[in-house]
Amino acid sequence: DVKVTQSSRYLVKRTGEKVFLECVQDMDHENMFWYRQDPGLGLRLIYFSYDVKMKEKGDIPEGYSVSREKKERFSLILESASTNQTSMYLCASSLLLYGYTFGSGTRLTVV
Amino acid sequence: DAKTTQPNSMESNEEEPVHLPCNHSTISGTDYIHWYRQLPSQGPEYVIHGLTSNVNNRMASLAIAEDRKSSTLILHRATLRDAAVYYCILRDNDMRFGAGTRLTVKP
């Protein structure tokens, strides 16, 4: 089975800190995605990547950046964490237009 | 914006079939229809997908309207473990999720 692993299940950071959320997949998928999920708002796409060193903005990229230096790893970066970035963050990967596999999520709290 | 419309919530009794509807009136000819579900405290998981023909797998069935503007996910016998949020998505080069349908299964 494809595995998408997110480095932390729970994370607490202070306002203004630089935060790295890591995501690794083990099936050589080209596409990787970052979403955040908030009550009542569903899943919202932050950034996605179709290949190494490629990135595309999703619907809510403000305050975030991403890095994809290797095919299996897609990092989400909060340059200066703010309390409104407290959320559940979900990473996903897929092969071309096939189905997506999601990680278990990272619940980030910014205090 | 999400390209699909689903009811916010549905209820079912255990052991009974459940039909979860999804409207996608702006679907293009190459869009696959994907369904995912999200159990509490977990990431979404793949359920089923199709293009034109109805599809069956061990988890569910997918019925696609002839004009492809709507589809229905069918759980043949709902169990308590099927209680989740179900998302219907059109699969193109990226995937936007709507709010999905929260399914409650009553014992």
Q: How near does any CA of chain B get to the CA of A81, in Å?
A: 23
Residue B31: exposure state from Cβ atoms within 10 A (0-12, 13-18, ≥19): middle
- Give dist(CA B23, CA A19) in Å, integer: 38
- Give dist(CA B99, CA A40) in Å, integer: 7
Q: What is the pLDDT of residues A54-98, one digit of tens each?
A: 999 999 999 999 999 999 999 999 999 999 999 999 999 988 767
| Cβ distance of A33 and B93 shorter than 8 Å | no
Which residue among A42, A100, A105 sits closest to B99, beta carbon to beta carbon? Answer: A42
Q: What is the pLDDT of residues A38-48, one digit of tens each?
A: 988 888 999 99
- Three-point CA angle A41, A58, A6, nearest 5°: 75
What's residue A25's pLDDT?
95
- pLDDT band, very low/low/confident/very high, at B95 (cuts 50, 70, 90): confident
Does B96 touch chain A if contact means CB atoms closer than 8 Å? yes
| Cβ distance of A59 and B96 shorter than 8 Å | yes
Among the ranges given (A10-19, A56-65, B35-44), the one the predictor scored with the smallest mean pLDDT: B35-44
